[in-house]
Amino acid sequence: MKLQIPENIQAITPYPPGKPLDELEREYGVKNSIKLASNENPWGPSPKAIAAIQDALGSLNRYPDGSSYYLTQAIAKHFGMSAQEIVLGSGSNEVIEFLVKAFVGVDDEVITSHPSFLMYQKFVQVRGGKNLVLPLKGMRHDLQAILASVTARTRLVFLDNPNNPTGTYINPADLYTFLSAMPEHVIVVLDEAYVDFMDMSYQVDIYSLIKNSDGRCPVVSLRTFSKAYGLSGLRVGFGLMAKEIADCLHKVRQPFNMNSLAQVAALAALEDTAFFDQTIKKTITGRNILMRGVEELGCKSYPSETNFFLIDVGGDADALYNAMLYKGVIVRSMRAYGFPQCIRITIGTDEENARFLNAFSECLKELEYV
Ligand SMILES: *Cc1c(COP(=O)(O)O)cnc(C)c1O
């Protein structure tokens, strides 16, 4: 074999997914392990989504509806927008990919922050575009530095709000000022994967940002069914944007990118407001309990507007991550993200949270971090 691998592809490092439970149990010989590493919904998918999938199984011999008509209509109604302003993806990750495919050519520039979600940069590398990666400032997106870095070649700016992995949010007033100063040729993508967990007073008015685009930079909002809606395994996300941008994204997507089970399940999940409201409520209660528990053990936890938060463990985070694996608890070490003393944990069920606190307490003592 004589592969000619292009330089931009060689340069890509694979995305590090959270360790799967099966793998942990196989490798470490532990049972009943728990995963608090990927910001999933611990209360499962909505029972209504499961029922919708069961009803749709008999039609799997047919291709899906390529326009995802019913799901798109329901999302449009939910946001008071039109179907032409919505693009669905196999996870919001795919919508990120569409944006980069449609708008970034060789040597075009894309601005992202670090540490932040890693997928933005990867798609840019695939296209042969240039990543401009700016460090967070005080754990938040450095809006001034981003503005100062914009050039005529800048196509996209990605801002996850709240940010993963820090859990911090952008002050809405700061964001509006930033958007007013942004040149019109740049698309600002607000990745709002965790917006549902955010305090209402911090949420930005996406509707008016998208609708009032005259003389302003366009704004795209990315949403997902993977977090609060509990459908990570099905891969459903979407973007809200001006019709002109949506039209470009539809050109680069496959005609059947949304499978039929994903379409019916997401529709049912969107309509199950009781399950959704419970998820938000229980997440915030769990977050408070966990944060208090962590502080009582002598560690600092960072404020978060999401279903996860960072903990300064007072020692090497990789070692703590490993020690936790032996106790059957999967968390994320933030060393690779530039926080060598931090782990990130996802809020779990009450039992999972208690299990985490026990294991965490034991590991801190074993490693003599406290
Ligand atoms: C989890 C997450 C997403 C969601 O990705 P999907 O492809 O919709 O599962 C997007 N952005 C950020 C920052 C995330 O953490």
Q: Which fold has domain 15-45+274-366?
A: Aspartate Aminotransferase, domain 1 (3.90.1150)
pLDDT, position 327 = 94
Q: Give me the mean pLDDT over the 313-332 stretch.
A: 96
Query: What is the CA(227)–ligand 1 centre distance, in A?
Result: 8
DSSP labels, 78-92: HHT--GGGEEEESSH
Query: What is the CA(260)–ligand 1 centre distance, in A?
Result: 21
Q: Give me the mean pLDDT over the 224-236 stretch.
A: 98
Q: What is the pLDDT of residues 33-69, one digit of tens each?
A: 999 999 999 999 999 999 999 999 999 999 999 999 9
Q: Which atom of ligand 1 sits closest to the CA of residue 227?
A: 1
Percent pLDDT > 90 in the chain is 91
pLDDT, position 31 = 85
- CATH for 47-271? 3.40.640.10
Name the residue with the closest Cα to ligand 1, atom 2. 193
Q: What is the pLDDT of residues 114-143, one digit of tens each?
A: 999 989 999 999 999 999 999 999 999 999
Q: Give me the mean pLDDT over the 181-209 stretch.
A: 96
pLDDT, position 187 = 98
**What residues have CB less than 8 Å from 72, skipping those under 6 apart?**
83, 86, 88
pLDDT, position 213 = 80
Q: Give me the mean pLDDT over the 348-366 stretch.
A: 97
Mutate to test the pocket of ligand 1, among 123, 164, 195 (most ligand atoms within 8 A of CB): 164
Name the residue with the closest Cα to ligand 1, atom 3. 193
The domain locations on the chain are: 15-45+274-366, 47-271
Query: What is the CA(29)–ligand 1 centre distance, in A?
Result: 30
Q: Which atom of ligand 1 sits closest to the CA of residue 225?
A: 8
Mutate to test the pocket of ligand 1, among 191, 307, 332 (most ligand atoms within 8 A of CB): 191
Residue 220, phi then psi, degrees to nearest 5 = -120, 135
Name the residue with the closest Cα to ligand 1, atom 1. 193
**Residues within 6 Å of ligand 1 by CB:** 39, 91-93, 117, 160, 164, 191, 193, 224, 226-227, 232, 237
> Are 15-45+274-366 and 47-271 the same fold in CATH?
no
Query: What is the CA(218)–ligand 1 centre distance, in A?
Result: 21
Name the residue with the closest Cα to ligand 1, atom 6. 91
225 to 10, 165, 296: CA distances (angstroms):
32, 19, 34
d(CA 184, CA 276) in angstroms, rounded, equals 36
Beta strands in 41-186 (DSSP E): 86-89, 109-114, 130-135, 154-160
Query: What is the CA(14)–ligand 1 centre distance, in A?
Result: 16
d(CA 265, CA 234) in angstroms, rounded, equals 8
d(CA 113, CA 200) in angstroms, rounded, equals 24
pLDDT, position 28 = 87
d(CA 56, CA 358) in angstroms, rounded, equals 42
Give the model's confidence band at 20: pLDDT under 50 very low, under 70 low, under 90 confident, else very high.
Answer: confident
Using a 10 angstrom Cβ sphere, with 0-12 exposed, 13-18 middle and 19 or more buried, the burial of residue 110 is buried
Whether residue 255 has pLDDT greater than 90: yes
